[in-house]
Structure 1
Amino acid sequence: MSEYKYGDRTYKLTNGNYDVDLPDDIKIPESVFKYYGKTSYSIDAIINNYLFCSHPYHLNDSIDSSSLLWDFSNLSKGIFEKFYKQFGFDKVMDINYEKEKENGFVPIKQRFFEMASKNAGVISLTTNALQTLMWAHYSTESGFMIELDWKEIKDNLKALNPKLNNYAFFPIQYVDKLESIDFFGNGFNSPDIPYLYSTAVKRKDWKYEDEWRLMTYTMDYGVPNSIRGPFPDIPSQHERKLYYPKKAIKSIVLGKHFFNASNLKKVIDDKTYQLKTNSDLDFVNFLEQNYNDRIYFCGEYQNGTEFKRSAEKVHFEKVDWNTIQMIRENKVYV
């Protein structure tokens, strides 16, 4: 067993299985939420019931899950030389231990990072359903949010994802100051625990997100190196997708500006819309046929001197092939 305690969490690898020990006052949520911008990728994810397993290069925080959090200062010269011989680099490169130590052992660190990250996926979820900044940052108010039943996802992980080796589900540990993990001074024999740790800590600037992270592990997701520069990608052998059952979706909340000039041909009355023939029309028809009993519409209301978010229960009724009515059910959750 390999483990690392930081703050009130312990990051563990036991018999190839990843886990995070949490304090008793943190409970596993029944529901988690995922915000989406209205893109073809997002719509495809809902239609086909999967969550995208990101690589760190896909994430919006540049130090999230980064090897910058790995301290290589205790890398011995023996291990250094063994590493280069193992990968045959000593035959094609002028290897200088002292020079690389001064520069933070960047080439070796990058190699270890690729070894860890190519087999892992990051899925960012939240327990915060109606957070204004989340709507603004991740759905730009014109997208949508889904509520997922965590137990349904968990109970169907292996059946729907047979190539999944294991997973870890935990809340982000928000800290005042990010601290690096001593890669070679803690007895680690692989990059697994340092990588798990680096995916689990973020600055308190991000605390408003109330993020729960689902880490997925399989073989050869690949590494999208081209995101960070003119570098070759490490090819993927398995798609970065985690499938879940249709019944795991408990609700779908449409953003305040889900309906707008990009998809509306005509507004017939307050809640009767004639849609343009495009992907949005296909998506609305899909929602009407598959999730009509669990659709909500995001809005805001005034409570005294405050304005707050709400989600009103609605359903669609078809008028004709491209015209729908959004029927209010007078049920609101806030």
Structure 2
Amino acid sequence: MSKQFSYNNFIYEKESSSEKGGVKIINAIPYPEKLHKFYPINSFSVDALVNGYFYASHTFELNDYLDSSPFLWHALKPLDFEFYKEFLGKDVPRDELIKFYEADASNVNLCKGYISKYWEIISNIFGIISLTANENSLLMWPHYTQEKGFQITFNASELEVSINDKIGQGQCFGVFPMNYTEFLNPIDISEFDSMHIPFFYATNVKSDKWKYEDEWRFLIGKPMMGVPNSKMGLNTEMDFITSPKNRYTFYDNRLVDHITLGINFFTAQDFNLEWLNEKHFKVSPKNSITNWNYKSYKKLLFYIHENLKDKIYHSGTKYELDKKNNHFLIRTKERLEIKKVGWDTYIFTRTEDIIKIF
């Protein structure tokens, strides 16, 4: 049985000495200096920042149906009975297990029942945290923030250490770059003596249509994280409900390097907005029936003022010249200063400290 699998210049190698039963994902992609997380503006994202955690998503909650899918597993020959015994032997009587094995491990079914059951159970004990090394993607700002949300930036190695320090009785694997590929080829689980490599492969491979995201991923293992079956189309199974907090994965939020607000974060629809002069503008969130995020804006601005006042940027745009002296637009971010002047009123100052991001 193989203890290593190569695909698309990635090598998946089981760590036999690891107490956690992990898999090394070997690749030539340089470890990033910074990692970023894009958020829309809502109560969930603001709470995650304020309390220093990421939500480790179930696969049904990912925005790509084929990402981390059980369809990325198949068996070209029947598995040994020991697979079934090790996985289900404690919960299923032996005679029932033998009957299930004989039907499922036939040349007709090729272990489809085993794959389905394995995925159903394991998805209750792992979750996915996605970050990006792409600081200013033209697509990610609108896709994940609608240009109104925010982005938080970390030193990658400090964040990885912090998550591992705070994981407690859980397990943290990663952070790994995604293996972007033209074709999503299923892995033959019958070639391996355990499901370690197939699991890490299935949660790491992704269509190259998503390559612009430059995603780096943590895999989080915890008991009883829940299975939101109702989020999957045409699935009539009941949700396996646990506390959503079981999927929270904490980090030291003092490690936030800086926060960048979307270009449409401050709008007259959601804020009382007044330009005092070319450099200074005053804002306070509007408490109106049309501003569903009033409390989130209020909470976020207070947190920024108290904890990130020297680490705040605002997205913008700027013209540059190409080699033929033609103008083209680029994205930028400008550092802001913040001063509290009322209960929920702030004055922001543009510093003209601008970072160009091509």
**Shared fold (TM-score greater than 0.5)?**
yes
Partners of 1:276 and 1:322 within 8 A in 2: no
CA RMSD of aligned residues (A): 2.8
Counterpart selection for 1:273 from 283, 305, 314: 283
CA contact (8 A) 2:79 2:111 kept: no
| Counterpart in the other structure of 1:293 | 310
What is aligned with 1:3? Answer: 4
Structure 1 residue 288: deviation in Å? Answer: 0.9
SS of equivalent residue, structure 1 residue 122: strand
**Structure 1 position 12, deviation (Å):** 3.0
Change (3 A) 1:11 1:76: closer
Aligned with 2:271 (options 247, 264, 271): 264
In the alignment, structure 2 segments of 5+ residues that lack a partner are: 288-293, 322-326
Find out whether 1:284 has 2:301 as its counterpart. Answer: yes
Distance in structure 1 (CA, Å) of the matches to 2:307 and 2:355? 22
Residues 292/72 of structure 1: CA separation in 2 closer, same or farther (3 Å cut): same
> Structure 2 matches for 1:107-126, cutoff 5 A?
107-126=113-132
Deviation at 1:34, TM superposition (A): 0.5
Contact 2:336–2:350 at 8 Å: present in 1 too?
A: yes
CA contact (8 A) 2:124 2:225 kept: yes
The code of the aligned residue for 1:63 comes to L
* Aligned residue among 54, 60, 64 for 2:67: 64
Q: 1:320 to 1:11 in 2, by over 3 A?
A: same
Q: Secondary structure at the match of 1:73?
A: coil
Number of the residue aligned with 1:50: 53
The residue type paired with residue 259 of structure 1 is: F
Query: Residues of 2 paired with 1:297 and 1:141: CA distance?
Result: 11
Map Cα deviations across residues 67-106 of structure 1 (whole Å, 9 max, x no partner): 11101232248569867877548759x9683898656654
Q: CA separation of 1:120/1:268 partners in 2, compared to 1, >3 Å: closer, same or farther?
A: same
Q: Distance in 2 between matches of 1:324 and 1:39?
A: 20
Structure 1 residue 306: Cα displacement: 1.4
Matches within 5 A, 1:178-327: 178-184=184-190, 186-189=191-194, 191-228=195-232, 229-236=235-242, 239-269=246-276, 271-277=281-287, 278-279=294-295, 280-304=297-321, 305-327=327-349
Identity %: 28
Distance in 2, Cα, partners of 1:199 & 1:324: 43
SS in 2 for 1:320: coil
What TM-score does the superposition give when structure 2 sets the normalisation length? 0.83
